[in-house]
């Protein structure tokens, strides 16, 4: 289903406002690179520094608000930077650790439905321990009550980090079930785009730790889930239109860095 004109306008306004806010508040850290600057020019070095700075908060300043805008009309609730829960039972902790140990030693293969069932069975057993978990980047509640937690990652996350990513996904499940043992709930790693296009996303680094079908959404899998089929391609068009529209502003901003000779 195509995005509505109203939705497209909302998304494009998010992009305009985010980029303009970045221009107004960007203060490059001093980093003298005389050889690079003399070779490439002060304006190009400033652009390089700006893009690097933009990348560090692209998720929170652009991807998260765009995700909420896409999901708002397709889900009963959509929010960012949410708390999954405040407690996990001691028995659920043991189940999570057993899962992690089994995956790390390859004695278990990732199976998210089975893992959720195992956590659900003990989610209120033993001592209830207060926890402070990683915030949920995007929390959605479907019209049927199903809860979806998303952890947004960079396009090329560190392969060594997937062990902790997996633990986070399981802890979110355990803490949510601790307050509502009957909840229908899913947790995912979301990667906003595929840097390997037109080739398929390289998922081998995650295999053995993540259930690729049940715990990972990449590029169109993520955006189309939020906004409906075709949302990903329409979203790219939004970015392109805003980029073309703001190009004079972008060029004007960086002219201040042109090195006078």
User: Which residues, 6+ apart, have CB-to-CB distance to 4 below 8 Å?
Assistant: 73
Q: Which of 118-122, 135-139, 153-157 has the lowest mean pLDDT?
A: 153-157
Other Cβ atoms within 10 Å of 58 Cβ, number = 17
Q: What is the pLDDT of residues 170-185, one digit of tens each?
A: 999 999 999 999 999 9
96 CB burial (10 A radius; 0-12, 13-18, 19+)? buried
Q: How many CA atoms lie within 13 A of 236 on its CB side?
A: 9
pLDDT value of position 31: 64
Domain boundaries, the chain: 1-63+229-261, 75-227
pTM for this prediction: 0.90
**How far out from the chain centre does Cα 194 lie?**
13
| Integer Cα distance of 238 and 175 in angstroms | 37
Report domain 75-227's class. alpha beta
CA angle (54 as vertex; 46, 224 as ends), nearest 5? 140
| Integer Cα distance of 122 and 120 in angstroms | 5
Average model confidence (pLDDT) across the chain:
90
- pLDDT class of 26 with cuts at 50, 70, 90: confident
53 CB burial (10 A radius; 0-12, 13-18, 19+)? middle
Q: What is the pLDDT of residues 183-205, one digit of tens each?
A: 999 999 999 999 888 888 877 66
Q: At what angle do helices 231-255 and 64-71 cross, to 10 degrees?
A: 140
Q: What is the pLDDT of residues 74-89, one digit of tens each?
A: 999 999 999 999 999 9
Bridge-based pairing state of the strands 136-141 and 77-82: antiparallel
pLDDT value of position 159: 65
| Integer Cα distance of 164 and 151 in angstroms | 12
pLDDT beyond 80 at 58: yes
């Amino acid at each position: 289903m195509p995005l509505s004109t109203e939705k497209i306008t909302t998304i494009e306004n998010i992009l305009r406002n985010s980029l303009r806010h970045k221009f107004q508040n960007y203060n490059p850290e001093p980093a003298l690179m005389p050889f690079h600057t003399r070779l490439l020019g002060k304006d190009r070095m400033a652009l390089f520094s700006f893009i690097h700075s933009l990348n560090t908060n692209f998720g929170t300043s652009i991807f998260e608000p765009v995700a909420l805008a896409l999901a708002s009309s397709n889900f009963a609730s959509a929010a960012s930077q949410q708390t999954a829960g405040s407690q996990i039972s001691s028995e659920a902790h043991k189940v999570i650790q057993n899962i992690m140990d089994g995956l790390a030693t390859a004695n278990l293969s990732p199976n998210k439905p089975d893992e959720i069932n195992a956590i659900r069975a003990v989610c209120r057993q033993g001592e209830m321990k207060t926890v402070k978990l990683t915030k949920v980047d995007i929390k959605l509640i479907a019209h049927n009550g199903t809860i979806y937690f998303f952890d947004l990652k960079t396009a090329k996350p560190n392969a060594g980090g997937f062990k902790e990513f997996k633990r986070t996904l399981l802890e979110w499940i355990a803490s949510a079930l601790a307050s509502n043992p009957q909840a229908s709930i899913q947790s995912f790693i979301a990667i906003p785009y595929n840097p390997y296009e037109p080739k398929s996303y390289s998922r081998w680094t995650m295999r053995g730790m993540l259930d690729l079908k049940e715990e990972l959404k990449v590029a169109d899998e993520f955006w189309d889930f939020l906004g409906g089929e075709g949302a990903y391609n329409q979203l790219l068009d939004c970015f392109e239109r805003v980029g073309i529209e703001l190009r004079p502003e972008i060029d004007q901003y960086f002219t201040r860095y042109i090195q006078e000779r």
